[in-house]
Structure 1
Amino acid sequence: MTVAAILADKGHDTVTASESDTIAAVCRRLAEYKIGAVVIAGADGALSGILSERDIVRACAAHGAEALHSTAGQLMTRAVVTVTPDDTIATVMERMTAGRFRHLPVIKDGKLAGVISIGDVVKHRIAQAEQEAAEMRTYIASA
């Protein structure tokens, strides 16, 4: 199974923010869409970074409420690990585990094609395991 299969089910919609958005504004967006990270897009729409709930919590722990006045550009991760639609779920799991993060932007032809989360990966792995079990039951019943 590949990233493309996950995106085919969940869609390619992404929630973005700009580097100049305040952390308070980003928090409102995260809450509104019930998501854990936003992709930070540059003026040309290209991927500039990613900002997660964890980044915000760390900033609040270090700077208190003042962190909410910071900008997304100040707190975002700039060295973003990405995947392509052709990457396997095993590759995604390895990257998420190695980097200890839960969201990966998907890049196709140099452009943002979506974002997948650990929840998306788990959902698809469960569906795959259930399908394999059903196929095995059918095979055994027909033997």
Structure 2
Amino acid sequence: MMVKHILADKGTNVFTLPVDASGMDALNALAEHNIGALVIASPEKKIKGILSERDIVRAIARTGTEALQRPVADLMTTKVRTCSEESTVHEVMELMTEGRFRHLPVERDGRLIGVISIGDVVKRRIMEVEREAEEIRSYIASA
């Protein structure tokens, strides 16, 4: 199973902010959209960074609430791991586990086309396991 199948189910709508948005803008967007991370991108959908709830908590722990007045460019993770539509569920599970992050931008030709979360990946993997179990039950019943 590939990332393109996850995106086909969940859609490709991605909430982004420009690099000059403030930490407070990001906090409001996270709350408004009930999401855990925002991709910081140019108008052309070039990924500049990713800002997660964890990034905001760390910034506040370091400098207090004044961190929310700073631009997201100062708060975001700049070394963003990405995947492609052709990446497999197993590949992205491994990438997310090794990197200890829960949101993974999906790129095509260097441009953002979607985001998958660990929840999306786990849901897809559970569906795969249930399908495989049903196939095994059918095979055993027909033998």
Distance 1:134 1:94 in 2: 25
Query: How many pairs does the alignment contain?
Result: 143
CA apart distance, 1:89: 1.2
Distance 1:101 1:131 in 2: 27
2:37 corresponding residue in structure 1: 37
1:17 matched to 2:17: yes
Distance 1:9 1:123 in 2: 11
Distance 2:45 2:96 in 1: 24
1:79 corresponding residue in structure 2: 79
Q: % of aligned pairs identical?
A: 55
Distance 2:129 2:44 in 1: 41
1:109 corresponding residue in structure 2: 109
Distance 1:136 1:91 in 2: 24
Q: Which 5+ residue runs of structure 1 have no aligned equivalent?
A: none
CA apart distance, 1:43: 4.6
2:129 corresponding residue in structure 1: 129
CA apart distance, 1:45: 3.1
Q: Which 5+ residue runs of structure 2 have no aligned equivalent?
A: none
1:97 corresponding residue in structure 2: 97
Pairing 1:63-78 to 2, within 5 Å after superposition: 63-78=63-78
Cα contact 2:44–2:111 (8 A) shared by 1: no
Cα contact 2:2–2:87 (8 A) shared by 1: yes
CA apart distance, 1:10: 0.7
Segment of structure 1 superposing worse, 92-101 or 51-60: 92-101
1:14 counterpart SS class: coil
TM-score, scaled relative to structure 1: 0.95
